[in-house]
Amino acid sequence: MASLLKIINPRPPVNTADGGHVVEIFRGDSEIRSDLGVLKAAAIITVKPGARAAGHYHEKKREILHLVRGELKAFFQDRIKQERVELLWQAGTRITLWPGMEHVFENTGAEEAIILEFSSLAYDPQDPDVRKARLS
């Protein structure tokens, strides 16, 4: 009988430059189907009050980001069209990012922000698909 639940041993939490963390929930041969297609990885990202996170874009990876707790000022820029959007991201809302969308998040609230990220590619340290954004 096939197992209904596959437990993986995720990588240990990764500390980010702003003092937050990224904790991988699943990756690789696990998958979830969504409006973005098949999602291959999930992670929890934390952003401390007053800190900025991300500052990058992906050439291949698509992401669904759900703000679970906190409030973030979010900046986005399409690398092709050079269109820029800034918004106040409230807990309980979801953002979909396509390849080439630069993104930066600033925690403007008083509590640590928690983002749940689902992505179309599992993290590969040999080809991380993270490129520095021009957006600041």
Residue 42 lies in a domain: yes
Residue 6 lies in a domain: no
- Tell me the C-alpha to C-alpha distance, in Å, between residue 113 and each of 6, 11, 19, 73, 122: 28, 21, 12, 11, 23
β strands within the chain, DSSP E = 14-15, 21-26, 32-34, 37-39, 41-47, 52-57, 63-69, 71-78, 84-90, 94-97, 101-107, 113-119, 131-132
* CATH number of 72's domain: 2.60.120.10
Residue 131 lies in a domain: no
Residue 134 lies in a domain: no
For the chain, the domain total comes to 1
**Cβ contact 45:51 at 8 Å:** no
Predicted local distance difference test score (pLDDT) of residue 28: 58
For residues 128 and 109, what is the distance between their CA atoms, to the nearest angstrom? 30
Predicted local distance difference test score (pLDDT) of residue 37: 72
**Cβ contact 79:120 at 8 Å:** no
Alpha helices in the chain (DSSP H): none
- Strand ranges of the sheet holding 84-90, from the earlier edge strand across to the other edge: 84-90, 71-78, 101-107, 52-57, 131-132
Count CB-CB contacts under 10 A for residue 79: 16
Predicted local distance difference test score (pLDDT) of residue 4: 36
Predicted local distance difference test score (pLDDT) of residue 29: 58
Domain range for 84: 14-123
Residue 32 lies in a domain: yes
Residue 23 lies in a domain: yes
Residue 2 lies in a domain: no
Residue labelled with tokens 């096939």: 2
For the chain (length 136 residues), average pLDDT per consecutive 10?
Answer: 38 60 60 68 90 91 91 92 91 90 94 91 86 82
